[in-house]
Each structure stands twice: as C-alpha cells, then as structure tokens.
C-alpha cells in the first residue's frame, strides 16, 4: 500500500459510525453530505475494500469495516493523546487529561483533587470516566484514557500494564443511618433487603452473592449491580438500599454523615487499589502532577 489514509478521512469515518448516517455526520462535522460521501469513497479506494454499507438502521460497517474500525480508533486516539500531551509540554496551561476511576476514588479523594487541579490549571480540560477496570481496560489499551485509579480485578491480567499498588481496603456493609437494620450484627438479618453492589459483570462482584448470602436469600430480597456513584447515593440514602465498600466512603464530606456501617460478624472481601497505565508511557507535566496528587492523597488519607 503506497498511500495512507488522511486524518480527516478517518475522523469522518468515525463520525459516520457514531451518528449512523452520512447526513448526520455531515451536520456534526459542518460539511455537506456530498463532501462526506466523497471522503468515504476516497478512503475505501485507499484501503482497497468497502467499509460501509446501507442497512435497515442506517449506514453500517462491512466485515472489512469492522476489522478496520479498531485500528482507526487506535490511530486517532494515539494522535489526539499525543497532541494533548505535547501541548502540556509546551505550556502548563493547555492540554487535556482523560482518566478512569472506580467507586472509592470517586467517593473519597477525587473531588478534592479535582478542585485543587482546576484551581491550579483552570484552562486544562479534565474528563473523568467512572467505572470498574474491566469496563475501561480497552480505553487504556487504546490510549483513550491516560490512566486508571481504582480496584484491580483478579480475573484480568495486568502483565501488559504498569501497575502501582496503593492500598488494600477491607470491605464493609453500609446503609443510611436511619435504615431499620442499621444495628444488625449478621448477614442473616439482611437476606431480605435491597442491595446495590458495585461492578456489573465483574467476576469478583458477581461472586459476592455467595459471600453476602451464606444463609441463602430471602423471598423479598433484590440485587442491583452498577457503578454509578450518583445512583448508589440516591438508592442508599433515599430508597433503603444496602451496599458494600471500604469504610473510607464515609470520609466523603457530602454523604459521609448520612451513612453508617452495619457491623456484621462475617468477613467480607478485601479490595486492592492501584494506579494503572500503559507500559513505558511518558506522562506530560500536568498529568504527572495529577497522578502525584492521587498517590499522595491515597496514601495520606486512606492508609
């Protein structure tokens, strides 16, 4: 192959995939439909195969398009990340940081770090993606996220990543302070309750049902899996749900005084927390400052 695709052609294809039609992609990129169509035809000519086809639900990828899409995304993610990182080296008031974090950082240390960061670097764009590592690992691999802060999962190999372990935290059962079973001392008392458990689709958390319900579930119990801090907060405080997590969640200045640990006698799992990023990834100055703050806050406030 003598010619390589142009960046605008790749970006147009990504927009067509996202919007589902040439017309919508044209509107999103401030182009005419004919210009987007021509761009796609030129790209397919360079690739040597059709990438798009018309389907019942709009424009869809061909089999070759499905093969090409992850390669295209990796190229665009790497280039966009490189430009953002380079802008940080040029000026400490520019650039952007995208990272992921799970529930403990989101509840506890992250709000304070973000506040300090925005005071120090007000012009830098900061994007936080909340979720478990299993959900965000592909974004780290592709370079879409600079790093992840949160709990590591035993069912995912970390050999391809740089991992800095931060702490290990014993999990506890907690509820709102006015929950009728807040003074319970056994999981047996909680078999009929409504539970919100973190980590949808993660082996470690799905296996929690065996730990939380050693006496079997009650006929009125219900379980909801999810990773949204906002939803968890509303369900626990306002809807009587029970959840699990490290006691450091109670450190949160906004909801900590509304929650209480239910001191059950059974032992719950331990969560291992770390900073995870790609191997041999040189972090630009602003990103490095942010990671240093995460490290410092985690070790000083939690350990």
196: left (phi over 0), alpha (psi -120 to 50) or beta: beta
Is residue 58 classed as helix, strand or coil in its secondary structure?
Answer: strand
Judged against a pLDDT cut of 60, whether residue 302 lies above it is answered with no
pLDDT confidence of 240, banded at 50, 70, 90? very high
When pLDDT is averaged across residues 6-31 and rounded to a whole number, the result is: 92
When pLDDT is averaged across residues 146-163 and rounded to a whole number, the result is: 84
Average pLDDT, the chain: 84
Q: Which of 14-18, 154-158, 282-286 shows the highest mean pLDDT? A: 14-18
Nearest-angstrom CA–CA distance, 34 and 159: 46
Nearest-angstrom CA–CA distance, 154 and 253: 31
Domain with CATH 1.10.10.10 in the chain: 7-86
Judged against a pLDDT cut of 70, whether residue 155 lies above it is answered with no
| Residue 206 or 177, more confident | 177
Domain with CATH 3.40.190.290 in the chain: 95-302
Q: Closest by alpha carbon to 287, among 123, 83, 84?
A: 84
Give the percent of the chain with pLDDT over 70.
Answer: 88
pLDDT confidence of 35, banded at 50, 70, 90? very high
* Domain 95-302 listed as CATH 3.40.190.10: no
Is the pTM here over 0.75, yes or no?
Answer: no
User: How does pLDDT run across 89-101, given as a tens digit for each residue?
Assistant: 776 666 788 999 8
Q: What is the pLDDT of residue 275?
A: 92
When pLDDT is averaged across residues 245-261 and rounded to a whole number, the result is: 77
pLDDT confidence of 38, banded at 50, 70, 90? very high
Judged against a pLDDT cut of 50, whether residue 201 lies above it is answered with no
Judged against a pLDDT cut of 60, whether residue 202 lies above it is answered with no
Class for the domain spanning 7-86: mainly alpha
């Amino acid at each position: 192959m003598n010619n390589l695709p142009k960046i605008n052609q790749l970006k147009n294809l990504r927009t067509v995939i996202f919007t589902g039609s040439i017309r919508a992609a044209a509107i999103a990129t401030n182009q005419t439909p004919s210009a987007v169509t021509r761009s796609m035809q030129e790209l397919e000519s360079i690739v040597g195969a059709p990438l798009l086809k018309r389907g019942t639900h709009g424009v869809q990828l061909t089999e070759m398009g499905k093969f090409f899409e992850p390669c295209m995304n990796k190229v665009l993610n790497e280039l966009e990340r490189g430009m953002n990182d380079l802008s940080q080296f040029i000026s400490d008031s520019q650039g952007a940081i995208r990272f992921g974090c799970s529930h403990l950082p989101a509840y506890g240390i992250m709000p304070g770090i973000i506040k300090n960061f925005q005071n120090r670097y007000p012009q830098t764009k900061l994007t936080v993606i909340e979720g478990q590592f299993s959900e965000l690992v592909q974004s780290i691999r592709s370079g879409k996220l600079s790093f992840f802060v949160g709990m590591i999962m035993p069912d995912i190999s970390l050999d391809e990543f740089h991992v800095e372990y931060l702490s290990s935290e014993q999990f506890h059962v907690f509820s709102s302070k006015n929950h009728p079973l807040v003074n319970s001392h056994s999981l047996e008392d909680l078999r009929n309750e409504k539970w919100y458990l973190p980590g949808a689709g993660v082996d470690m958390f799905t296996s929690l049902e065996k730990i939380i319900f050693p006496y079997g579930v009650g006929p009125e119990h219900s379980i909801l899996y999810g990773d949204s801090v906002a939803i968890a907060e509303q369900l626990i405080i306002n809807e009587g749900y029970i959840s699990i997590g490290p006691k450091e969640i109670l450190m949160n200045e906004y909801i900590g005084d509304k929650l209480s640990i239910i001191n059950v006698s059974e032992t719950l799992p331990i969560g291992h927390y770390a900073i995870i990023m790609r191997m041999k990834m040189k972090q630009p100055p602003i990103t490095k400052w942010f990671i240093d703050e995460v490290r410092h806050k985690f070790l000083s406030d939690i350990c």
